[in-house]
Chains A and B, each alone.
Chain A
Amino acid sequence: MKKPSTVRRIITTDLPVLMIVLFAMAPFAWMVLTSLTPTKALNATGVSISPAGWSLDNYVRLLQQTSFLDNMLDSLIIACGTMALGLAVAVTAAYAFSRFRFTGRKLLMLQFLLINMFPIVLLILPLFVLMRKVGLLDTHFGLILANATVAIPFAVWMLTSYVGAIPKSLDEAAMIDGCSRLTALRRVVLPLMLPGIISTGIYIFITAWNEYLYALTLGGRNVRPVTVAIQTLIGEYQIEWGLLAAGAIVGAMPATILFLLVQRRLIGGMTQGAVKG
């Protein structure tokens, strides 16, 4: 094949890509600019594009006048709790699915896939009624359980594919050397699974951090994760876009950074199934 000249490459590839990147970035960039413009200037002249009009005023107000840091803590507790619960039950389940052939295996795998497809509304309403009955409404544990409805099936599937990629001969060798099944799992398979566990865990963290509907319905007063808190920044009389933008950016930051850090490995795991079809 001929190698196309640089100019041609720039016109047919670089420019279109640049436009798509701008399209993907522009709304977020606009949000950043909004958050940097003090409210007075925002109301008078609109978003300031030049650095001269920028200040951290909105961020200072966010941290000093609102309970945003407490909300971040709520989100952190819920996201970490969901991650721990999801991984704890999914690791052994994934090991069982990939190393054993037993009656009901397909059916059980199917049910984990099926749960992931259920509309969240169908679960949110009965969960509300049930949690109200047992007093779990508006608690961290209640929200952790709710988020686990999404996290567990996802973790089981991701980890099953990771364990499947670890050669069986390794745990068989360990068992011939006298390890029991569980010791082989702990000593041999678990260390090899670690990259998979970490990226699955991070993805669970991100989805639990970003989750909104459960947080709104099952939490909201005592336990108020950032996604719900951001909305309350809207203000009573008029929409405070500057403050709102600052909250949105601070609230989105942890998950976005994590996502960018692990995206390559995560996407590898997620696309495997799709690509092999």
Chain B
Amino acid sequence: MTATTASPSTAVTIATPWRVRLMPYMLLAPAVLVTVFIVFFPMVQALATSFYDLILWKPNASRFVGFGNYVKLFADPVFWTALGNTAIWIGLTVPLQMGLGLLTALLLNREFPWRGLARGLIIIPWALPSVVIALMWRWIYDPNTGVLNDILIYLSVVQSAVPWLADPDLALYAIIATLTWQGFPFFAVMILAGLQGIPKSHYEAASIDGASAWRQFVHITLPGIAPVLATAGLLRVIWVANSMDVIFVMTGGGPGYATHTLPLYAFVRARQNLDFGYGTTIAVTFTVLLGAVVALYLARTMREVER
């Protein structure tokens, strides 16, 4: 997203009275005021809450505990489980989405008659609400009547029905598969746009020089789409890390703590026990951890704006 640079002429020809200089701030005021009110104020509130022992249904018992919640957090085994799950969750989902998206984009970049149609259909998972996706896959994974087990038994891949979402060793990976399905169209579309920006002449020159398809891919295609891969990848890490609605609807974090990720743990903790002090502490800690990725992304994007 680029913005054109200002031509200095306007600023010089009109001797700027204060009203003109205030103009951009006036124009920005509504947006800034609303966001201050609904984002920054609550956030400061959250930070403050994390230093309190606050259980929502007994507000009078609320008391200041300093870093007490944070101390408790680092001694909490569920926190470490959730942190590990979050790492697996991001570490597998994003590369899988990217890989499948890259494959799809490369195929869609070729010439074939129904390209437009295929492009439109592939986007469907992206458009569906995540609750619908979660329920849909719960139905597919259902141990008794789910279609996945039917197919796998029919093909003799498994002998008996697999309880995909009830098995603590499988549940997280089953949800990762769902999220891969949901997210690969985003990568496909982004990468496709990147592929279409690579000049055809590069490939022609390379094939005249006798470069194989693989070498063309490594030396022309990959460098050409590297910026898109980096930006889309970073954006997606943040997105996947934050997304917990699919997990929440599919397993609610269970069985046990097998599918707890950090944001989900914060949400479940606050929702079930109304333990807002501790829940907020988890959320704040998660945000700080995610901050590194966000900083990388911001640095990239703001470099764009500079130009």
Contacts and interface: CB of A to CB of B under 8 A. Distances in A.
Nearest to A93: B31
Contacts of A153: 35
A7 interface: no
Contact of A89 (B5, B30, B294): B30
B113 to A, nearest CB: 8
Interface stretch (B36-44, B66-74, B88-96): B36-44
A47 B145 CA distance: 9
A100 interface: yes
A277 B283 contact: no
Interface in A77-100: 85, 88-90, 92-93, 95-100
A117 B3 contact: no
A275 B280 CA distance: 37
Interface string A248-277: 100110011001100100011011111111
A276 B25 CA distance: 29
A62 interface: no
Contacts of A14: 112, 114
B305 A109 contact: yes
A122 to B, nearest CB: 4
A43 to B, nearest CB: 8
B167 interface: no
A130 B42 contact: yes
A263 B189 CA distance: 10
Interface residues of A, number: 103
A156 B31 contact: yes
B135 interface: yes
Interface in B176-213: 181, 185, 189-190, 193-194, 197, 203-204, 207
A9 B107 CA distance: 11
A100 B121 contact: no
Interface stretch (B76-84, B154-162, B224-232): B224-232
Nearest to B7: A168
Instruction: Tell me whether chain A's interface is mostly helix, strand or loop, or mixed.
Output: helix
Nearest to B268: A121
Contact of A119 (B104, B204, B287): B287
Given A24-B125, A93-B28, A100 B204 contact: no
Contacts of A68: none
B170 interface: no
B228 A275 contact: yes
B45 A273 contact: no
B292 to A, nearest CB: 12
Given A21-B122, A212-B131, A274 B267 contact: no
B232 A274 contact: yes
A21 B276 contact: no
Contacts of B4: 98, 164, 168
A25 interface: yes
Give the one of B124, B197, B270, B290 with max A CB within 10 A. B124
B20 to A, nearest CB: 8
A23 B181 contact: yes
Nearest to A231: B131
Contacts of B279: 121, 125
B132 interface: yes
B297 A273 contact: no
A17 B305 contact: no
Interface in B220-250: 227-228, 230-232, 238, 241-242, 244-245, 248-249
Nearest to A27: B136
A3 B264 CA distance: 52
Contact of B3 (A98, A130, A241, A251): A98
Given A121-B279, A125-B279, A274-B227, 9 more contacts: A30-B139, A34-B139, A92-B30, A96-B25, A123-B46, A160-B1, A227-B129, A271-B193, A273-B1
Q: Which 4 A-B pairs have the closest CB atoms?
A: A277-B227, A161-B1, A259-B127, A210-B129
Interface of A: 1, 9, 13-14, 16-17, 20-21, 23-25, 27-28, 30-31, 34, 46-47, 85, 88-90, 92-93, 95-102, 105-106, 108-115, 117-130, 145-146, 148-149, 152-153, 156-158, 160-161, 164, 168, 172, 181, 206, 209-210, 212-213, 217, 226-228, 230-231, 241, 244-245, 248, 251-252, 255-256, 259-260, 263, 267-268, 270-277
17 contacts: A13-B112, A21-B122, A27-B181, A102-B25, A113-B302, A118-B287, A120-B263, A126-B49, A152-B31, A152-B34, A160-B3, A164-B1, A210-B130, A213-B248, A241-B145, A275-B197, A276-B227
